[in-house]
Amino acid sequence: MHRRRVKRILIGVFAGCAALVDAGAAVAQATASSEQLAITTPPAGSAAWVADGSFGRALPDPATADPAAVAAFFASLTNAEIDRLVLEYPLVVGNLDGAPLAVRYRANREAIAAERDRARQRAEDRTLDPTARALAASRANDSEALLANGRQILAFDPRGRGLVSEVYGDLAAAQRVAVLVPGSDADLGHFDQAVDPLRSPAGMGRALFAEERTQSPGTRAAVIAWTGYVTPQGLGPDAATSRLAEAAAPRLERLLAGLKQTSHPEAPPALLCHSYGSVVCGTAAPTVHGTEPTDLVAFGSPGMGVESAAELGTGVQVWAARNPADWIGNVPYLEVGGLGHGADPTTQAFGAMTVSSAGASGHNGYLAPGTASRHNFAAIALGHYGDVSHPANTGN
């Protein structure tokens, strides 16, 4: 009983520190947020997929097959067989790392259209209460937006709050790839926001891709806005622990393993990890290995679950940025009894390469036009390390 009471007190300290330095409505409601259920199982339809013997051979199990095996399986199929799988198992194919990118984009359009239609039916169901109907109408609208011409949805899972990942650029032909890992409150309903777009994964992804094209128009670049995990809501207990990050890390690792089969950039994909997303990247970092280190940028970070960059392993080159107006700098940088995320990545003692964020303001302003952080993040993603500027001190 005493331990539970201490834990509640510590959660209040973490959430309270953030609330004291940000009067925004999102933070005001944060402490009332409920714990989220992590998604760790394969998507709907997986059981039927595994049981399908009509192809005369076993289909790769979404729960256990590695992306190399998935890639080999799809390479053995005829176009007619691929078409059949896309239509019968869109959620499985659309989320199967290692499957051809164009096939996944097509499968996810099928899955998204089905979710839109299901949500529209609920929105029109007069037996439901007004709140449920309004939520269904919102889900239908969010799904419909993803079906706009030209959108490349790499993954879509309608369970819970909804998971979405989108590609900007030609991922199959890209020379440089960046994966943007967002933090709290990222889900289907907040994936792409017209108002204050940099609060959304899609807005950040587009901004990074646009900056890369500006800096190096001759480079074939691609950006993935990856909302492939259940994120915390607000600043409640989930934001103060690594529970959701630990569930997310294997999913990020699988994404990267899949990219090795379906894209062949000149260097490992760069990871740009915002806020709680940097906890996810820190959890996954020790398993990232290769002949070249992966660039990992932690910005607006509450910590990466470690006390120093050295603990993240030799597979990553860690960069860190935080602007002076970002309230995250006022949360406790420590870990006590499973609460908190360790040391501040922007300090000299941590051992990361600090990156200037001059001109950026607040927790979501790092990719705003004209900011040093936007320029620097794109330069890192492009491998133009000599163009990266560093702060004169740790304040910007």
| 94-109 tens-digit pLDDT | 999 999 999 999 999 9
Residue 324: what are its φ and ψ, rounded to 5°? Answer: -60, -25
3-state secondary structure of 100: coil
**SS3 at position 38:** coil
Q: What is the mean pLDDT of residues 153-182?
A: 98
Is the confidence at residue 4, as pLDDT, over 90?
Answer: no
Closest residue by Cα to residue 229 from 273, 280, 278, 189 = 280
> Hey, what CATH topology would domain 2-37+160-387 get?
Rossmann fold (3.40.50)
pLDDT of 338 reads 84
pLDDT at 393: 62
Strands 221-227, 270-274: pairing is unpaired
| Nearest alpha-carbon partner for 321 in 361, 269, 370 | 361
Give the span between the Cα atoms of 58 and 66, in whole angstroms. 14
pLDDT of residue 323: 96
Least confident of 3-12, 185-194, 243-252, 386-395: 3-12
Work out the average pLDDT over 133-142.
98
Q: Which pLDDT band, with edges at 50, 70 and 90, does 5 fall under? A: very low
- Bridge-partner residues for 156, per DSSP? 164
Question: What's residue 2's pLDDT?
Answer: 42
Q: Is 189 helix (H, G, I), strand (E, B) or coil?
A: helix
* pLDDT attached to residue 392: 79
Share of the chain above pLDDT 90, in %: 85
**Residue range 219-251, pLDDT digits in tens:** 999 999 999 999 999 878 899 999 999 999 999
Q: What is the 3 state secondary structure string of 70-90?
A: HHHHHHCCCHHHHHHHHHHCH
CA distance readout (Å), 119 to 115, 139, 144, 227: 6, 6, 10, 21
pLDDT digits (tens, 9 = 90+) for 312-366: 999 999 999 999 999 999 988 988 888 889 999 999 999 999 999 999 999 999 9
- Tracing tokens 């909804």 back to the chain, one arrives at 162
* 89 or 7, higher pLDDT: 89
Can you give the pLDDT at residue 236? 81
Give the start-to-end residue ranges of the domains of the chain.
Answer: 2-37+160-387, 46-51+65-134
Using an 8 Å Cβ cutoff, are 251 and 228 in contact? yes
Span 38-63, pLDDT tens digits: 999 999 999 999 999 999 999 999 99
| pLDDT for residue 334 | 86
Q: Among the listed ranges 14-28, 97-111, 332-346, 373-387, which one has the minimum average pLDDT value?
A: 14-28
The pLDDT of residue 15: 47
Once rounded to an integer, what is the mean pLDDT over residues 146-150?
A: 97
Q: How far apart are CA 144 and CA 141, in angstroms?
A: 5
Looking at 31-40, 70-79, 271-280, 386-395, which range is the least confident one? 31-40
**How high is the pLDDT of residue 21?**
37
Average pLDDT for 118-146: 97
pLDDT, position 235: 77
pLDDT value of residue 138: 98
pLDDT of 31 strictly over 60: no
To the nearest whole number, what is the mean pLDDT of the chain?
A: 91
Q: Would you place residue 13 in the very low, low, confident or very high pLDDT band (cuts 50, 70, 90)? A: very low
pLDDT of residue 336: 84
Question: 228 versus 8: which is more confidently predicted?
Answer: 228
User: What is residue 396's predicted lDDT score, i.e. its pLDDT?
Assistant: 61
